Amino acid sequence: MTISLDSILSILNKVVDILLVWLLFYYILKNIKNNVKLSLLFKGVLIMVVLKIVSDVFNLVTIGWLLEYILMWGPLALIIIFQPEIRAVLEQIGRSQLLGRHKVLTVDEREKLVYEIVQAMDYLRKAKIGALIVIERDVSLSDYIAKAKPIYGDLTSDLLISLFFPNNPMHDGGVIIQGNRISCGGAVFPTSGSDKINKRLGTRHRAALGISEETDCLSLIVSEETGRLSIAIKGELFYNLSLDDVRMMLIDELRPKKDADLGDEIDEEEIYEENK
């Protein structure tokens, strides 16, 4: 039995077609995971589909009829209601880097990064100087960087502190860190509309939570009123942390996934203590 060239090309065409579809779904689901609002929406749609299947299996007429109309008109309603979030996901897919973060830091570079940030936050909390520091990870923040004041300087605690001094024009905005460099200052981020955040918290905390809902970044906040430290990660705000809590969370979140599997946390903490 011989296989013609046309048959081989036909098989390759189907394989490539399937791979492209899976690749598309992978990047869509990956970006949905990094967006808190859309991940909740996706879970809701999934529950509706499961309920529809159950109603069909057990012949539940009333609930099946309701779900049929919801599934029929639901997609159109969701597109209208969640248009900003859907647009944000499509923008994230365009901004995302296929091979991960733009620079993979070495253990020494990560520890120096953590050390400089913690030193700066320690000074800022004692002086009660408000600050918002955002660390880019896999999802690019280039859109926010383009609208902010460019800096592109080596990350040092002194530079971070100076950017948030009250008389500095960039004091009220956020600082974005890419790799081990400060890319910009005075960045403006979308504020979160979540009901879970304490109403007493101001714009700085809401902006930190807002950008963490849309991307996978780390948002660090120093309260101007109380000097308390907080971190927003994936739409969750960790409020009133100790300086040691901040250091441990940074070490854990900035460690590459492959290193986390190898368990290098002890080595990184030892290096941090040596740098002190």
Among 55-69, 111-125, 149-163, 168-182, the range scoring the smallest mean pLDDT is 55-69
Above 70 in pLDDT, residue 32? Answer: no
Residue ranges of the chain that CATH labels 3.40.1700.10: 107-275
What is the pLDDT, as a whole number, of residue 101?
43
Structure token pair of residue 190: 């979308």
Structure token pair of residue 238: 């960790």
pTM score, whole prediction? 0.65
Strand partners, 175: 133
Above 80 in pLDDT, residue 145? Answer: yes
Class of domain 107-275: alpha beta
Among 26-40, 112-126, 225-239, the range scoring the smallest mean pLDDT is 26-40
Q: Report residue 253: phi and psi, to 5°.
A: -75, -30
Question: 206-210: long-range contacts (C-beta < 8 A, 24 or more apart)?
Answer: 207/132, 207/174, 208/132, 208/134, 208/174, 208/232, 208/237, 209/235, 209/237
Above 90 in pLDDT, residue 34? Answer: no
Q: How many CB atoms lie within 10 A of CB 259?
A: 16
CA neighbours closer than 13 Å in the CB half-sphere of residue 79: 6
The 10s digit of each residue's pLDDT in 232-248 is 998 899 999 999 999 99
| % of the chain exceeding 90 in pLDDT | 40
Above 70 in pLDDT, residue 269? Answer: no
Q: List the one residue out of 233, 246, 276, 216 whose CA is nearest residue 124.
A: 246
Above 70 in pLDDT, residue 55? Answer: yes
Average pLDDT over residues 214-242: 94
